[in-house]
Amino acid sequence: MTESTRKRTTKAASIEAEIAELRRELAEHDYRYYVRSEPTISDVEYDGMLRRLRDLETERPDLVTPDSPTQRVSGQIAEGFEEYRHARPMLSLDNSYSIEDLRDWAARCEKLAEGRAFDYVAELKIDGLSMSLIYAEGTLQRAVTRGDGVRGEVVTSNARTIRSIPLALKDGGAQVDLSAVREIEVRGEVFLPRESFEKINRERAEAELATFANPRNAASGTMRMLDPRIVAERNLDIFCYQLLFDGAPALPSHFDSLAWMTAHGFKVNPHYRHCPTIDDVIAFCDAWGEKRDGLNYEIDGVVVKVNQVAIQDELGSTAKSPRWAIAYKFPARQVSTQLLDVLYQVGRTGAVTPVAVLDPVLLAGTTVARASLHNADEMMRLGVRRGDFVFIEKSGEIIPQVIKVIVERRTGDETEFTFPSRCPVCETSLVKPEDEAVTRCPNPDCPAKLRAGLLHFSGRRAMRIDGLGEALVEQLTSPRIERDDRAEPLPPLVADIADLYDLPGKRDELIALDRMGAKSADNLLSQIESSRQAGMARLLYGLGIRHVGERTAVILARHFSSMEKLAAASREELARVFEVGEVVAASIADWFAEKRNRDLLARLASAGVKMDLPETDGPPVQRVFEGKTFVLTGTLPTMKRDEAKEFIESRGGRVSSSVSRKTDFVVAGDDAGSKLTKAQELNLQILTEDDLRLLGG
């Protein structure tokens, strides 16, 4: 062997060894972060290791394997999903809705078991999408949805993006001899954490896209998307609940299977319990019926299973459900009422949203008189008619949704709705882009878009012009009638957001408006004056550019520091900004490309509105909270919620709406509720407002 050949051989062996070690370490860190919620390295260190692995695999593409951490988001956009027949049907569960139902089920199990002793395992019923994960020779080969229980859709590329799904089995020790096992199947429930669900819906609402009705629908829709890169952005998760070896139950008891899955790197919900008696099961159900709101994911009940597999086999199954398991469903957060009419609201981007007008009804502690119908497609799917009785549902802080028509209660007097073809405000023909579910008014001068845009611009998360409510905006944007009724109507005082800054010169005309007066006018003008100093991030968010939410506006302002630099950025440059991406970049570039928008910015600048980051006294704020996640709960002594959030984010931190093991700090004030309780249970660091200020420097 020549010296050059020996060097090449040595280098090749060295690369192979480094690749193998990087994969092992990254898989371990994924397990610690996404399954155990106990990270041992920083995100920066992890990203550096992943970049190194990508570089090595680029140099040696022959060494790339399906279980490499670099392959989590490697699938191309699919044209569709192939079907796959489950080795063992994925049956649905019978439901019980009362303690009496549970006792009756337990009595039936005892009768069928003919005196053989058994106990139970109780698990939280995750409200998501059932999934089958199939492993051969220790690596993930296929992921299949439940489908109809017999056949499902192969969604392997999408499943790979879920970081809590192991691409290769973790070494769990010699618990079971696997030498004769060809396939290991692990079944679980894919779900969308509440925090991710709220973030997705908040961003979709800001962009005036249709929001998801609940996390279950969002998870199901996400898993059926054809582009795994989009799936990866949704932060789906999974809890695993069943283990099969070659299509049959793997171990003597269900409790053993849960332990095996945990040992081999699968994420099992930690709140399961071994229950010797049905009374223990009932106590578990009662406890979680009260504690369910403290979780970062939706549950709609408890699944109860006979623990011993031998007894499960004796009990058997019906055509639809196993006799050895049952779902105890919590009381639903739903109620029925009558749908009286549908209103069509036009938002600031022209999105036309149907809103159901309801016979008022009490739901989850509040009186509900209106509920979302999302869009024309959803109205058609539901088949709603005027006079229908419908079920409405409320999930967390999300607006109530119409989820089902009670067809059985129809009398024949109901009338069908026709979604408008013209804008209900300006009569412009509506358009529905092929790639969107939302119908829009394309008229840039639509009065409804102007009014919604003004309310958004003046909101407390944007320019903070207090006092500019719906009634006043309606007056400011409507033609004015002279009091003697003899003259032609005068043009409105405000035709776009820049006109707000001309109002100081029209004080007398302001005072003349209904229910205004000198004091109210002066208060409004003072607020407008203060808003000139709001700074680039608030202005950018207030402009209402599609897909640019509050956080994205802050990121863009800090990256470009001035509106002039942002306007000059190319689409490619925008897409490279952290957390921006191609869709948002295209929307921003298109907005700045329109002359009317550039003219609007020029008028705002001439009016003295700050177009860059606000200047601060003293040295720049240090990003001491970089990479840290905070949750705010209760009422702080001096800081408002928005002020505390801005304090944290300006120092590099992130504010989340829910508590989890990934939370670094919980800032608690007076009347802190379940979030504080959960933080204490997880032994998280709890801060006062003074602690927060001290840490922030």
Measured CA to CA, the distance from residue 381 to residue 388 in angstroms comes to 14
For the beta carbon of residue 628, count every other beta carbon within 10 angstroms: 16
Strands of 580-651 (E only): list them.
629-633
Measured CA to CA, the distance from residue 215 to residue 198 in angstroms comes to 9
pLDDT along the chain (697 residues), means of 10: 54 81 86 71 74 86 83 56 88 88 95 93 93 94 89 91 92 74 95 87 72 79 83 91 93 95 94 96 92 86 96 87 92 83 92 93 78 89 94 70 90 94 94 84 92 91 87 88 62 91 92 87 92 92 88 85 93 84 89 94 94 63 82 87 84 82 88 82 88 85
pTM (2 decimals)? 0.55
Contact 381, 412 (CB under 8 A): no
Measured CA to CA, the distance from residue 280 to residue 293 in angstroms comes to 22
Contact 289, 330 (CB under 8 A): yes
Contact 95, 327 (CB under 8 A): yes
Strand-pair category, 351-363 with 439-440: antiparallel
pLDDT of residue 270: 94
- At residue 354, the 3 state secondary structure works out as strand
Measured CA to CA, the distance from residue 93 to residue 470 in angstroms comes to 49
The owner of tokens 């019906």 is 318
What are the b/e assignments for 403-442, b being 16+ CB within 10 Å? ebbeeeeeeeebeebebbeebebbebebeeeeeeebbbbe
Helices 278-291 and 99-113, packing angle to 10 deg:
150
Measured CA to CA, the distance from residue 420 to residue 351 in angstroms comes to 12
One-letter amino acid at 234 equals R
Residue 661 contacts by C-beta under 8 Å, 6 or more apart in sequence?
37, 38, 682
The owner of tokens 């579910």 is 437
Cα–Cα separations (whole angstroms), residue 109 to 121, 317, 422, 620: 14, 12, 60, 68
Q: How many residues does the chain have?
A: 697
pLDDT of residue 396: 46
Measured CA to CA, the distance from residue 222 to residue 236 in angstroms comes to 8
Measured CA to CA, the distance from residue 575 to residue 571 in angstroms comes to 6
Active site residues: 125
Return the closest-CA partner of residue 175 out of 251, 266, 272. 251
Measured CA to CA, the distance from residue 275 to residue 186 in angstroms comes to 23
pLDDT of residue 161: 92
Number of C-alpha atoms within 13 angstroms, CB side, residue 202? Answer: 13
Element (H, E) at 344: strand 334-346
pLDDT of residue 216: 83
Residue 320 contacts by C-beta under 8 Å, 6 or more apart in sequence?
91, 92, 149
Return the closest-CA partner of residue 325 out of 662, 92, 667, 576. 92
The owner of tokens 């569709």 is 80
pLDDT of residue 293: 78
Here the tokens at position 306 are: 């006979």
Measured CA to CA, the distance from residue 63 to residue 572 in angstroms comes to 32
Helices (H), 60-185: 99-113, 156-160
Here the tokens at position 668 are: 């608690």
Contact 424, 512 (CB under 8 A): no
Helices 3-30 and 43-59, packing angle to 10 deg:
140
- At residue 632, the 3 state secondary structure works out as strand
